[in-house]
Structure 1
Amino acid sequence: MIVRDHNGEILLSSCRQLLSCKDPLGAELSAVMEGLSLALHWCNKHLITETDCLEIVSLLNSKEIYCLAYAMMIEEIKTLLKVRQPCITHVMKCQNTGSQFLANYASRISSRTAVWLVFAQRDY
């Protein structure tokens, strides 16, 4: 995941290996949940969450729970989204190359987690 400011400058990026994951949807939901948690911890501004997984945007914007296997995770993400003005949007995969790079990097690193903080000022 990558956290950017209103000018598109990177503030924080992170990747982590998933040691147990049933399917791609589970991996994407884990990434959104962890990314939101880190962004809420490190940034105090309005958050816009972007993902290239249209299914996640649909699940999180829906009032119904259609995916029972991930119902608890979906509800937890919805709760995180409510902490600040909730907004989750879909971006094309070609617009998400930074996150794709981090996902590939996470599968190759020997440590389990990597985080990069790039704060010029702590007023974010």
Structure 2
Amino acid sequence: MVLRRHDGSVIFTAYRFLFNCNDALEAEIHALMQGMALAKQHSEGPIIVQSDSSIALASLKGDNLDRSAYGHLIAEIKFLIIDREFIPQKISREPNRVVDRLASYSRYECTTAVWLYRGPPCIEALLPLDCNPIIME
């Protein structure tokens, strides 16, 4: 995950190795939960979440996964964002290369890590190229 300021500069990058994970949706929901918790601690403004998983993003706005195996994770995320403005944004995998590379790196390294104000060497060149712009109305 990558947390950026409004100008695109990096606050932190992080990844977490999941020892037990059923599928890509579960991994995405875990990443959303951890990213939103960290974003809430390290920023004051609205939390803009960009993900290539439309199912995971939709679950945060609706109740389509509340009774699923991931319902407890969705409930925890909804509790995290109850007092903050939350803006979900679906993006394609192509402009999401940084987090894709971080996920691959965490699987390879079998570890969890956080970098403040930068990224690990494996993504430093991608960080300025992979900043997805948004338009706030």
Which bin holds the TM-score, normalised by the shorter protein? 0.7 to 0.9
Alpha-carbon distance change, 52 to 7 in structure 1, aligned in 2, over 3 angstroms: same
Residues 1-124 of structure 1 mapped to structure 2, 5 A cutoff: 1-65=1-65, 67-110=67-110, 112-118=111-117
CA distance in 2, matches of 1:98, 1:67: 32
What one-letter code is carried by the residue in structure 2 that aligns with 1:21? C
- SS of 1:22's partner is coil
Give the Å deviation of 1:66. 5.4
Give the Å deviation of 1:32. 0.4
Using CA pairs under 8 Å that are at least 6 residues apart, name the structure with larger relative contact order, 1 or 2.
Answer: 1
CA distance in 2, matches of 1:64, 1:22: 18
Structure 1, unpaired ranges of 5+:
120-124
Structure 2, unpaired ranges of 5+:
119-137
Equivalent residue pairs, number: 118
CA distance in 2, matches of 1:81, 1:94: 27
CA distance in 2, matches of 1:98, 1:11: 14
RMSD: 1.7
| Cα deviation 1:22-75 (Å, max 9, x = unaligned) | 111111100100111111112222211111101111211114545511111111
More helix per residue: 1 or 2?
1
CA distance in 1, matches of 2:107, 2:64: 33
Using the size of structure 2 for normalisation, the TM-score is 0.79
Using the size of structure 1 for normalisation, the TM-score is 0.86
Contact 2:3–2:11 under 8 Å retained in 1: yes
CA distance in 2, matches of 1:80, 1:5: 20
Deviating above 6 A after TM superposition, structure 1's stretches of 4 or more consecutive aligned residues are none
Contact 2:66–2:72 under 8 Å retained in 1: no
